Amino acid sequence: MKTLIILGTACLALSATAQTPEAVKLTDKEQFEKATSAFKQLVAASPTSGADWFYFGENYYANDRSDSAAACYQRGIEVNSTFPLNHAGMGKVLREAGKADLAQAQFDQAVALATAKANKNSKQDIAATYREVAEGMLAGATPDYAGALAMVQKGIDLYPKDPEAYILKGDAMFDQNPRDGSAPLENYKMAMQLDALNAKPVARKAFMYYRAKNFPSSIEEYTNAIALDPGFAPAYRGRAEAYFKARDFDKATADMQKYLELNVGNTSARVRNAQFLFLVKKYDESLTEIQALEAEGVQNMTLKRLKAFDLEEKGEHMAADSALNAYFTEQPDEKEISVDFEYAAKIDQSLSKLQAADTLSTAPRMAYDSLAGEMYLKAVQMEPSKDYLYVEAAKAFTDGRAYDKAIAAMKLKTAENPEVNDWYYLGAMASRAKRYALADSAWAAYIAKQPNIYQGYLYRARAQAGMDSAEVKSWTALPYYQDVIRKMKPEEVDSHKADLEEAYNYMTVKSTFPTPSENQAGPLPVRGGLTFSRKQNLVAHGPDARPHPRFP
């Protein structure tokens, strides 16, 4: 996930023209088009200002226009070869493109220029370079958290009065470990102390609460940010999303409308509104906004992505597939994100259902379910925090009868962050693949977590029975079938008679081969309404009968 750009005006480093802070404020407020106009005027008036070219590039980068950002950074390098920040910006673009080695060379050049005695940069200027390099190190699919935190700390040690450095440090720490909000919070508080009227650190604190799913606290902090700066549009957008998560849809919509009012005529704000409409499940309205922007000639990859998502949610699966394929054709690989592949998987699953119903003509017919599984795996590989997608991948592979792949996906889930039901799914999929030893170990783990649920014992009994051959029976399933009878609650009997009959039938057949150790756990309960005749069962199933391996 791209780290938000840090563009505060409290501490603009190095030489910049007098109007630069006002243009940067427009970027901070997500008024990107107005900021672009302002920066065009600035670089026209002062074409050799490396700082103006840098912040012009930052405006483009914040608006997801990396190519335009790179052009600005490059121009800044050309007109002022000793100004360091444009090298930091260029490194950020390269790192986002997956070119880490080239990016590092730019970062090294930025630091060398900043610290060169001949350039006579102040401590504040050098610290700002460290900060911008640190931000660049967080770009791309694999952020260098350790390197970025070390670099931003060098800046803080050199010039501890820069609030933007503390904001960046808090962001990096929280992205690195979202489960620990205490350390990021301390950094946001420090930024607030250094610049008490700055709404940005308060909004970052609000976003931290949002990510932690503490929506009331998030709303409170966004409200505090708005009180500091009623024109700080991102706080309204953030609060709208927090209100939505808190299920207060009217307030969410009102805040988004306020965001649009503050950014009236701003194309980027309309793009964000289309995203918000998708978030609140107003897919028709979101699609209408996207189509209106496209009709106006707006070319935006976020809109292309969102169009496919809207179409899928509206049930227009073939159109969604076409739209997403068009998006993937245009979007560079390094800019694809996890949710792209998550929706690709959903679309494939929808197409599989159409294919099964013979309403989708494909030549040749495609294994959409297995393809969906691969897409889910790619999504979780890009964003490991979405480990629930391993389960979705496994389910899709199971639907496609690719049981070995389903098992592999569930093994990854149970190895990284196992939950109770993960063992259930692993056991079920291993059973379908007739890998009974693996199924048995999975059900053993499930029973350890859920000792009072009879189904775990039933499925483990089936796994044990599955390991027997037709000629040689170990009867190791017996104690688990006995546990089925013991663990089944009286109120479950009527609706699960078949499972109970399966357990008694197995015991009936086994009774022809008694051993002294049987029933050591005590007498089994007699279930009212069920009668089991050993003679009848032997006649029906024969002395070598075994339960049919029905899998969960």
pLDDT digit string (tens) for 386-412?
999 999 999 999 999 999 999 999 999
> Any idea how long the chain is?
552
Nearest C-alpha neighbor of 43 from the set 71, 7, 76: 76
Helix, strand, coil percentages for the chain (3-state, nearest 5): 70, 0, 30
Query: What residue has token string 């009527």?
Result: 494
Asked if the peptide bond before residue 516 counts as cis, ω within 30 degrees of 0, the response is: no
Residue for token digits 């227009």? Answer: 316
Alpha carbons 72 and 60: distance in angstroms, whole number: 9
All residues at 6 or more sequence positions from 360 whose CB lies less than 8 Å from its CB, including other chains: 318, 351, 354
Give the per-residue pLDDT at 343.
97
pLDDT tens track for 299-350:
889 999 999 999 999 999 999 999 999 999 999 888 899 999 999 999 999 9
Residues 6+ apart with CB under 8 A from 522: none
In contact, 458 and 484? CB cutoff 8 Å: yes
How many other CB atoms sit within 10 Å of the CB of residue 153? 14
State yes or no: pLDDT of 516 exceeds 50.
no
Q: Give the C-alpha separation, 317 to 308, whole Å.
A: 9
Token pair for 313: 């949610």
- Predicted pLDDT at 521: 53
Axis-axis angle for helices 368-382, 338-356 (nearest 10):
170
For residue 337, give the amino acid letter: I
Of 98, 78, 92, nearest to 133 by C-alpha is 92
Query: Distance (Å, rounded) from C-alpha 191 to C-alpha 6?
Result: 12
Confidence at residue 18, expressed as pLDDT on a 0 to 100 scale: 56
Q: b/e for 103-119, b at 16 or more Cβ within 10 A?
A: bbebbebbbebbeeeee
Listed in sequence order, the residues at least 6 apart from 105 whose beta carbon sits closer than 8 Å to its beta carbon are: 91
Q: Which domains does the chain have, with CATH numbers?
A: 1-196 (1.25.40.10), 440-552 (no CATH)
Q: How confident is the model at residue 548 (pLDDT cuts 50, 70, 90)?
A: very low
Residue 447 class from Cβ within 10 Å (0-12 exposed, 13-18 middle, 19+ buried)?
buried
Question: What is the mean predicted confidence (pLDDT) over 54-58?
Answer: 95
Q: Report d(CA 326, CA 47) in Å as an integer.
A: 39
pLDDT in the model for residue 10: 45
pLDDT at position 538 is: 29
Mean pLDDT calculated for residue range 8-32: 71
- Dump pLDDT digits (tens) for 460-492: 999 999 998 777 788 899 999 999 999 999 999
Looking up tokens 């709208």 gives: 240
* Residue recorded with tokens 């840090």: 6
Average pLDDT over residues 122-129: 94
Give the integer Cα–Cα distance in Å for 526 and 546.
22
CA separation for the pair 52, 43 (Å, rounded): 6
Cβ proximity of 366 and 350 under 8 Å: no
- Across the range 122-143, mean pLDDT stands at 94
The amino acid sitting at 329 is T
Cβ density class 202-232: b for 16+ within 10 Å, e for less = bbbbbbbbbeeebbebbbebbebbbebbeeb
Confidence band for 537, pLDDT divided at 50, 70 and 90: very low
pLDDT-derived band of residue 540, with 50, 70 and 90 as boundaries?
very low
Whole-angstrom distance, CA of residue 511 vs CA of residue 518: 9
- Residue 173: other Cβ atoms inside 10 A: 23
pLDDT of residue 545: 34
Q: Dihedral of the CA atoms 523, 526, 532, 533 (nearest 10)?
A: 60
User: What is the pLDDT, as a whole number, of residue 387?
Assistant: 92
Contact 524, 485 (CB under 8 A): yes
Three-state DSSP class for residue 120: coil
50 close to 86: Cβ distance less than 8 angstroms: yes
Structure-model confidence comparison of residues 364 and 496, the more confident one: 496
Q: Are 340 and 348 in contact (CB under 8 A)?
A: no
**Run of H or E including 520:** none
How large is the greatest C-alpha to C-alpha distance in the chain, in angstroms?
102
